[in-house]
Amino acid sequence: MTAPTRKDFSSDNVTGVAPEILEALAAANPGTVHSYGADPITERLRARADELFERPVTIVPVATGTAANAIALSALARPWQAVYCPASAHVNTDECGAPEFFSGGAKLMGLPTTDGRLAPGQVTEAVAFARSMGVHHVEPAAVTISQATEWGTVYDLDWLRRLGDEAHGLGLRLHVDGARFANTIARLGCSLADATWRAGVDALSFGATKNGALAAEAIVVFDPALATELEYRRKRSGHLWSKHRFLSAQLLAYFEGDLWLRHGQRANAMADRLAAGLASIEGAACLLPVDANELFIRLPAGVIQGLRGEGFEFYDWPAPSGTDGPVVRLVTSWNMAEADIDAFVESARRAARNS
Amino acid sequence: MTAPTRKDFSSDNVTGVAPEILEALAAANPGTVHSYGADPITERLRARADELFERPVTIVPVATGTAANAIALSALARPWQAVYCPASAHVNTDECGAPEFFSGGAKLMGLPTTDGRLAPGQVTEAVAFARSMGVHHVEPAAVTISQATEWGTVYDLDWLRRLGDEAHGLGLRLHVDGARFANTIARLGCSLADATWRAGVDALSFGATKNGALAAEAIVVFDPALATELEYRRKRSGHLWSKHRFLSAQLLAYFEGDLWLRHGQRANAMADRLAAGLASIEGAACLLPVDANELFIRLPAGVIQGLRGEGFEFYDWPAPSGTDGPVVRLVTSWNMAEADIDAFVESARRAARNS
Amino acid sequence: MTAPTRKDFSSDNVTGVAPEILEALAAANPGTVHSYGADPITERLRARADELFERPVTIVPVATGTAANAIALSALARPWQAVYCPASAHVNTDECGAPEFFSGGAKLMGLPTTDGRLAPGQVTEAVAFARSMGVHHVEPAAVTISQATEWGTVYDLDWLRRLGDEAHGLGLRLHVDGARFANTIARLGCSLADATWRAGVDALSFGATKNGALAAEAIVVFDPALATELEYRRKRSGHLWSKHRFLSAQLLAYFEGDLWLRHGQRANAMADRLAAGLASIEGAACLLPVDANELFIRLPAGVIQGLRGEGFEFYDWPAPSGTDGPVVRLVTSWNMAEADIDAFVESARRAARNS
Amino acid sequence: MTAPTRKDFSSDNVTGVAPEILEALAAANPGTVHSYGADPITERLRARADELFERPVTIVPVATGTAANAIALSALARPWQAVYCPASAHVNTDECGAPEFFSGGAKLMGLPTTDGRLAPGQVTEAVAFARSMGVHHVEPAAVTISQATEWGTVYDLDWLRRLGDEAHGLGLRLHVDGARFANTIARLGCSLADATWRAGVDALSFGATKNGALAAEAIVVFDPALATELEYRRKRSGHLWSKHRFLSAQLLAYFEGDLWLRHGQRANAMADRLAAGLASIEGAACLLPVDANELFIRLPAGVIQGLRGEGFEFYDWPAPSGTDGPVVRLVTSWNMAEADIDAFVESARRAARNS
C-alpha cells in the first residue's frame, strides 16, 4: 500500500481520517441520543479532558481550527480591545479576519518575529505604547501564540512560562493556537498540564483535524467563568452541532490510548527523517530548527522541479530576506511511513544528480 | 431490532447517520486530496446540484443549519437592513441571534402568524411602514420563510409564488430555511426547481442533518453574483472545512438515488400514520394540518403521562391561546418504522384507557 | 415676536438652542484647553452631575440620543444577549438598528404594550421562556424603557420601582431612555435620584437636545465598573469630541439654575393647555393621558385640514386599532408661549366651525 | 490679547471656534426648521459643496473625524475585506478600532513607511500576496491615506495620482483622511477637485474641527451610488443630528469666503516661521519637511525643559530609530499670530543659551 497519497507534502490537512476515529463515528451511530451535547459520549469526553489536563477544564468541541481560535479569542477580548500576536500568526493572515468577526472588531496587533515566536518583552513594549494613548488606542487584553508556530518552531516551557508571566503581569490573558499541539507536546515531551495552565496558558485551541480527525478541534479553557459565554458564542456562530455525539466521538477516540500523541510523534519523526535525508543534498538548508512536522527548506531549483516532475506536492514559500534561492515548505503527517519519506529523499537526490 | 431509539419523538436530530452516508464517509477517506473544497468529491457535488436544480447554482456546504441560515441571510441583508420573517421563525427564536451576528446587526422583523406561515400582504404592509420612516428605520432587504415551518406547515406552490412575487415587487429577496426541505418536497410532490427559483426563491438552506446526514447542510443560491461573498463569509465564520471532502461526501450520498426524498417521504408517512392512529384517542386533536413530519397535538394529560411512563420522549409545547389542554410536539424521522409508530399509538391507547 | 416657528408642533427637535446654552458656548470659546474632556468645564460638569444625582455618577456626554441609548445598551448587553423593551420603543423602531450595531448584534425583544409602558410581569414571562431555551435563545441581560414613552406617558415612581425590582430579581439591568427626561421629572415632581438609582435604574440617557441644547445628551451610569468601557465605546464609535468643552458647556448650562427642569415644566404646561383647549372641539379626544409634552389626539379630518391650511405642522399618527377617525401627534416645546398654544386652539375651533 | 492660549503647541484641537463659525451658529438659531437635515442651511451646504468640488458630490456632515473616517471606510470595504494604509495612519493607531467597528471587522493592513506616505507599488505587492491566498485572507478592497499624514507630510499631485491609478488598477477604491486637508490644499496650491476626484480619490474626510469649527467634518464621496448607504450608516451610528442645521451652518461658514483655506494658509505659515526660527538653535533639526502645520523636530533636552518651564506645551514624540536625541511635535493653528511663534522661538533661544 504505497498509495499516491503519500506524495503530498503540501499540508497535513490533505490526509483522511484515522481508522480509530472513523470506527468511533460508526460506533457512536446506533440509536437516538439527546442532541446538542446532552449525550453520554460528550459526558465521557468532558471527564477525559479533566484527566488529560489534571484538573477540571471547560472543553468546547467545534469542527474547525478557525472556529476554535476565533471563539476563544472573542471570549478574551472585547470589541475595543487588542490581541497581540506574531505578525505571521495564522489568526492574523490565514483566517480571513475571523478573530475580528467573532470579537466584534477587536484588533490583532501583529508583532515582528524571525521564526514565528514572540520574544519576551515584545508585548510589554507594545502594551506600554497602547496604554500611553488612552482611549484613542485599542485596549490591551490578550496575547495569542501558536504552538507550533507558522514556522514550525516550538516555544520551550521556560520561554512559554516567561510569556505567561509577562501577559499576566500586564493584566492580559494568554491563548495558544494549537492546530499542531500534538506535534508540540511530542517534541517537548511534557504533560498537557505543563504546556498549558501550569505555564500560564488561559485558553487553548487543541487541534485534531490535521492530526487524524475528520473535523474536530477542542477549545479548552481553565477559567470556569468563561464556560457559559463560550457555549453561547458557539451556538450563535453556528458551531454547535445538533448531532454533537459525532464531534465528541472524534475527540474521545483521539484522546483514547494517546492516539493524538502517537500521531504527533509519528509526524515529527517523519519530519526529522526528512530533514536528515535532505541534508545530504547540495544546496539544501533548513531555515529553522525542525521542532514539529514542518520543514522550511531552501532547495536548488532543479531539485524542486525534479520532485514535482515525479508527482511530489508542496508549497513554494516566501523566502525571508537574505535567503539565497527558493524556499519550500514540506509538511509530514500522522500517517506517513518511513518509505514515504525515503521516496521523497531519493527523488530529491535523483533530481540533484540530474540538474 | 426494535431499538429503544425509536421511542424518541422529541426531534429528528436525535437520530444517527444513514448507513449510505456513513459508507460514503468511509469511501471518501483513502488517500490525500486537496483541502478546502478543491477535491473531486466536491466537484461532483457541484455538478449534481446543477442537475437537481435544473440550472447552474452555487452550492456552499456547511455543517449546521444555523450556519446555513445565517450565512445566507448575511449575504442578502446589509447591517442596517431588515429581514422580515414569521415571529415564530427558527432564525428569530432558536439560533441565539446568529443572523444578527453574521449580518453585523441586521434586524429580524418578526411578523405574527397563526401557523408559522406569512400571509401575502404582510410584508408589503411592514415595508410600507419602514419606508415611511426613512433612515430612522432599518431598510427593507429580504424575507425569510421556513419550509416546512416551525409549526410543521408547508406553503403550497401558489402561496410560495405569491410571496416570491411580493418580495421581488418590493425589491426584496426571498430566503427559504429548508431544515426540513426534504419533507416539504415530499409533501408538495414537485421538483426542487419548482419549489425554489421558479417560485422566486433567491437562497435556500437545504437541510440534510435532521434527515440522515452527520452534519451537513447546503446553502444554495441562484444569483452567481453572490458566490464569492458566500465563500469569504464561510471561511471567515470558521465554516470552511479543511477536509472538505467529508462535507461533500455526505451531501453527495444524500442526493444519490434521491435518498433525501425517500427519507422525507418516510418521515412524512410516519407522521401521517401517527396522526391517524392518535385520532382515535378521545380528546386528542391536531392543532394544524400535518404537512411534514411534525404533529402539534392536544393530548389528555393522562395520555401524556402514560406515554412518558413507558419511555416515550417528546416536548411539551406552548399551547396557542384558546387551546384547551396540554399540547405536545411529536416529530417522526427518516428511520422510523411502522412498528415504532404503532407502539406509540398503542401506548397512548393504553394510557387513555387507564386514565 | 410671535414667530412662524411656533406653528410647528411636529416635534421638539425643530427648535433652536436656548439663549443660555448658546451663551455658554460663546463663553467657553476663548483660549486653548486640553482636548477630549481633560478641560475645566468638563470637570465642573462631572461635579455638577454628582450633585444633581446626590451621589457619585459617571457622566459621558455625547451629541445625539441615538448614541446615548446605543452606547449605554451596549455596555449592558453582550452580543449574544437580549434587551427587553416595549415594541414601540424608539430604540426598537426609530434608531435604524443602532443598538444592534453598537452591541454587536444583541437582540431587542419588543413586548406589546397599549400605551408604551411595560407592565410588571411582562419581562418575567419573556425571560422564563428565554431561559427554558438555553443557548438556543439569546440570553436575557437588560430591560430598557422610555421616560416619557413614545406615547407620551410616564411611569410613576411606584411602577418604576416595580420594574427595577423585577429586572434586578431576574439578574437584568435597567436602562431608561430619557430623551424627554426633563418632561418626566417635571411631571413626577421628584428628584433625579428618586427617578433613577433609588428606583433601580442602572443607566440613563438624559436628553438635552430636544429640550434646548444644540446637540448634547448625557449617558449617566451608577455602577463605576462601567466607566472605562463607556469611554472606550464612545471613542470607538466616533462620539468623543476633540473640543469636548463644547459638549460639556451645553450640559453645564442646561443644569445651571435648573434650566432643564424649567424647560420641561414649560413644555408640559403648554401640552396641558393645548389638551384643555382642544377638549372643547367636538370629536376631539386624547387617546392617552398627557403626562409629558405630547398629545396623541383624535381630531376630525376637517379640523386637521384647517389647521394645516393655516400653516400648523404636525404628524399624522397610526391610529391604534379600535380608534375611530384620524389621529395626530402634537408636540409642545420648551420655548412655546401661551399665545402659541392659544393660536393653535383658535385655529382648530375655526376649522371645526367651518367644517 | 496675547492670551495664554497661544502657548499650547500640542495640537490644533486645543483651539476654540473661529468667530465666523460661532456667529453662523447664532445666525442659524432663530425659528423652527425641519430636523435631520431637511433644512435650508443644509440645502445651501450641498449646493456649495458641488461648487467647491466642481461637480455634483455627496456631502455627509458629522461631528468628528473618527466618525467621518470610519463611516467612509465602512462604505468602501465589506466586513471580510482589507483596507491598506500606512502603519502609522491615524485610523490604524488613534481611533480605537473605529474602522473595524463601523465596517464589521474589516482589516486595516498597515504598511511600513518612513514619513507616513505610502510609496507607489506597496499596495500592489500586498494585494498580490492577499490574492494568492484566496478566501483564507481578507479580500483587498480599499486604500486609505492621510493628507497631510501623521508625520505632517503631503503627497504631491503626481504622487497622489499614481496611488489613485494603482488602487483603481487593482480594483480598489481610495479614501483620503483629510483631518488637515485645508493645510494640504494650502501647501499644494491646487483646487479641491485636483486634489480629490481628478486624482482618483473616491472618498474624502474633509476636516474642519481642527481648523476652526466647533465639531464638524464632512464626508465627501463622488460616486452617487454610495449616498444612500452613507445616510443609513450615519443614522445607525448615532451621527445624524436632529438639529442638523447646526452641523451644516458650521461647514457653510467654513467654506464661505474660503475661510477654510485662509485658516490652513495661516497655520502653515506659522509652521514655516517656527521652523525657520528654530533652525538657528544649535542641535535642532526637523526630521521631515514641514508640509503642513506640524513640526517633528529634534531639540536639545535643555531647550525642551526651558520651553516647558516657561509654560509652552507640546508632546514628546517617539524618535525614529537612528535619531539622536529627544524629538517633539509642534503643531501650529489657524489662530496663531506671528508674535506667538516668535515668543516660542525666543523662549527656545533663551533655553539654549542657559543650558
pLDDT in tens, B55-76: 999 999 999 999 999 999 999 9
Note whether B239 contacts A67, CB cutoff 8 Å. Answer: yes
Residues of chain B contacting A239 with CB distance shorter than 8 Å: 63-64, 67, 238-239
Sign of the CA dihedral with D254 first, then D255, D261, and D262 last = negative
Res C2 pLDDT > 80: no
Chain C nearest-CA distance from B55, in A, is 35
What are the tens digits of pLDDT across the range A227-240?
999 999 999 999 99
Nearest-CB residue to D105 (from A105, A136, A138): A105
Look-up of cell digits 398627557: C290
Q: Which residue of A has its CA nearest to B16?
A: A29
- Phi and psi of C270, rounded to 5°? -65, -35
Q: For residue B109, give every residue at least 6 positions away whose Cβ sits within 8 Å of its Cβ, in sequence order, or none.
A: B82, B83, B84, B85, B126, B130, B138
* pLDDT attached to residue B141: 98
Mean pLDDT (chain C, rounded): 96
CB distance D14–C35 less than 8 Å?
yes
pLDDT in tens, B31-56: 999 999 999 999 999 999 999 999 99
Quote the minimal CA–CA distance from D106 to chain B in Å. 11
For the domain bounded by C4-14+260-354, which CATH number is listed?
Answer: 3.90.1150.10
Residues of chain B with CATH 3.40.640.10: 19-259
Percent of chain A with pLDDT over 90: 96
pLDDT-above-90 percentage for chain B? 96
- Out of C10, C214, C238, closest to residue D243 by CB: C214
Pick from B94, B105, B136: CB nearest C136? B94
pLDDT at C322: 82
The chains in contact with chain A, meaning 3 or more Cβ pairs closer than 8 Å, are: B, C, D
C-beta of residue D110 within 8 angstroms of C-beta of residue D87: yes
Residues in B closer than 8 angstroms to D104, CB to CB, are 79, 104-105
- Going by their DSSP bridges, the two strands A327-331 and B203-207 should be labelled as unpaired
Handedness of CA C284, C287, C289, C294 (dihedral sign): negative
Q: Do D13 and C33 touch (CB under 8 A)?
A: no
Return the residue of D nearest to A95 by Cα.
Answer: D136
Question: Between chains, do C80 and A236 touch, taking CB under 8 Å as contact?
Answer: yes
| Residue with more model confidence, A5 or A127 | A127
The residue type found at C165 is D
For A96, the closest of B10, B26, B236 (CB atoms) is B236
Fold of D19-257: Aspartate Aminotransferase; domain 2 (3.40.640)
Q: Under CATH, which number does the domain B19-259 receive?
A: 3.40.640.10
Model confidence pLDDT, tens digit, residues C209-235: 999 999 999 999 999 999 999 999 999
Q: Which residues is D178 bridged to in the sheet? A: D206
Higher pLDDT, B321 or A128: A128
| Chain A neighbors of B33, CB-CB under 8 A | 14
Euclidean distance between CA atoms B135 and B124, whole angstroms:
18
CA distance D132 to chain B (A): 14
Q: Say if the Cβ atoms of D234 and B135 lie within 8 Å.
A: yes
Whether A1 has a pLDDT exceeding 70, the answer reads no
Check residue A322 and give its pLDDT. Answer: 82
Partner-chain contact C105 B107, CB within 8 Å: no
Residues of chain B with C-beta less than 8 angstroms from the C-beta of A5: 30-32
What are the pLDDT digits (tens) for C245-266? 999 999 999 999 999 999 999 9
Residue of C nearest to D38 (CA): C14
Q: Give the three cell numbers for residue D138.
A: 481578507
Q: How much of chain A, in percent, has pLDDT values that exceed 70? A: 99
Report helix, strand or coil for C14.
Answer: helix
| pLDDT for res A343 | 97
Query: pLDDT at position B323, please?
Result: 82
Q: What is the CATH number of domain B4-14+261-354?
A: 3.90.1150.10
pLDDT band at A6 (very low <50, low <70, confident <90, very high): confident
Backbone torsion region of residue B69, taken as left when φ is above 0, otherwise alpha when ψ lies between -120 and 50, otherwise beta? alpha
Q: Which residues of B touch D233 (CB under 8 A)?
A: 80
- SS3 of C61, please? strand
Residue in B80, B233, B236 closest to D233 by CB: B80
Does A104 contact D106 at a Cβ distance shorter than 8 Å? no
Measured between CA atoms, the residue of chain B closest to residue D103 is B104
Verify whether the Cβ–Cβ distance D231 to B79 is below 8 Å.
Answer: no
Closest partner CB to D94 (pick from A80, A100, A133)? A133
Question: Is D197:D54 a contact under the CB 8 Å cutoff?
Answer: no
Separation in Å, CA of C125 to nearest CA in chain D: 30
Least confident of C79-83, C318-322, D54-58, D92-96: C318-322
Arithmetic mean of pLDDT, C77-98 = 97
Q: What is the pLDDT of residues C153-167, one digit of tens each?
A: 999 999 999 999 999
Average pLDDT over residues A54-69: 98
- Which pairing describes strands B327-331 and B315-317: parallel, antiparallel, or unpaired? antiparallel
pLDDT exceeds cutoff 80 at C4? no
Q: What is the mean pLDDT of each successive set of 10 residues along chain D, which is 355 residues long?
A: 70 97 98 97 98 98 98 98 98 97 98 97 97 96 98 98 98 98 98 98 98 98 98 98 98 97 98 98 96 97 97 93 90 97 97 92
Interface test with B, best of A243, A314, A331, A344 (most B CBs within 10 A): A243
Q: Per residue in B272-309, pLDDT tens?
A: 999 999 999 999 999 999 999 999 999 999 999 999 99
Question: Under a CB-based contact definition with an 8 Å cutoff, are residues A85 and A145 in contact?
Answer: yes
Q: For C8, which residue in chain D has the nearest alpha carbon?
A: D32
Beta-carbon pairs below 8 A across chains A and D: 58
Tell me which of D5, D42, D205, D243 to substitute to probe the interface with C (most C C-beta atoms closer than 10 Å).
D243
Contact D80 B135 (CB under 8 A): no
Best residue in D88, D96, D109 for a mutation probing chain A (most A CBs within 10 Å): D96
Over range C88-92, report the average pLDDT: 97
CB contact under 8 A, C101 and B105: yes
Nearest CA in chain B to D140: B232
Q: Residue A63 is nearest to which of B63, B95, B96, comparing CB atoms?
A: B63
> Chain C closest CA to B137's CA: distance in Å?
4
State the pLDDT at residue B2: 43
> From the CA of D139, how many Å to the nearest CA of chain B?
8
Of A80, A233, A236, the CB nearest to C232: A80
Distance CA A59, CA D126 (A): 38
Contacts of D103 in chain A (CB under 8 A): 105
Question: What is the number of CB-based contacts under 8 A between chain B and chain D?
Answer: 37
Q: Where do the CATH 3.90.1150.10 domains begin and end in chain B?
A: 4-14+261-354
pLDDT for res A320: 83
Contacts with C211 (C-beta within 8 Å, 6 or more apart), sequence order: C12, C180, C182, C183, C254, C260, C263, C264, C267, C334
**CB environment C322-351: b (16+ within 10 A), e (fewer):** eeeebbbbbbbbbbbeeebbebbbebbbeb
Which of 3.10.20.600, 3.40.640.10, 3.20.20.70, 3.40.50.620 would CATH assign to domain A19-258?
3.40.640.10
Neighbouring chains to B with at least 3 Cβ pairs closer than 8 Å: A, C, D
Write down the pLDDT at residue D1.
40
DSSP conformation letters of B81-147: EEEEEETT-HHHHTSTTHHHHHHTS-EEEEEP-SSS-PPTTHHHHHHHHHHHTGGGSPEEEEEEEES
Minimum CA–CA partner of C65 in chain D: D238
As given in the structure block, the three cell numbers for residue A206 are 487543541
Q: What is the pLDDT of residues B195-214, one digit of tens each?
A: 999 999 999 999 999 999 99
Q: What is the pLDDT of residues A296-319, one digit of tens each?
A: 999 999 999 999 999 999 999 988
Contact criterion met (CB < 8 Å) for A100 and D106? yes
Q: What is the β-pairing status of strands A58-62 and A217-221?
A: antiparallel
Local structure of residue C209 (DSSP, 8 states): G
- Beta-carbon separation of B136 and D104 below 8 A: no
Rounded Cα gap, residues C252 and C64, in angstroms: 16
- Closest-CA distance, A80 to chain C, in angstroms, reads 7
List, by residue range, all CATH 3.40.640.10 domains of chain A. Answer: 19-258
Q: Cβ D234–B104 below 8 Å, yes or no?
A: no
Delimiting residues of CATH 3.40.640.10 domain(s) in chain D: 19-257
pLDDT tens digits, A81-113: 999 999 999 999 999 999 999 999 999 999 999
Neighbouring subunits of D (3+ Cβ pairs under 8 A): A, B, C
Which three three-digit cell numbers place residue A103?
Answer: 470579537
Q: State the smallest CA–CA distance between residue B138 and chain C in angstroms.
A: 4
pLDDT of residue B282: 95
CB B195 within 8 A of CB B188: yes
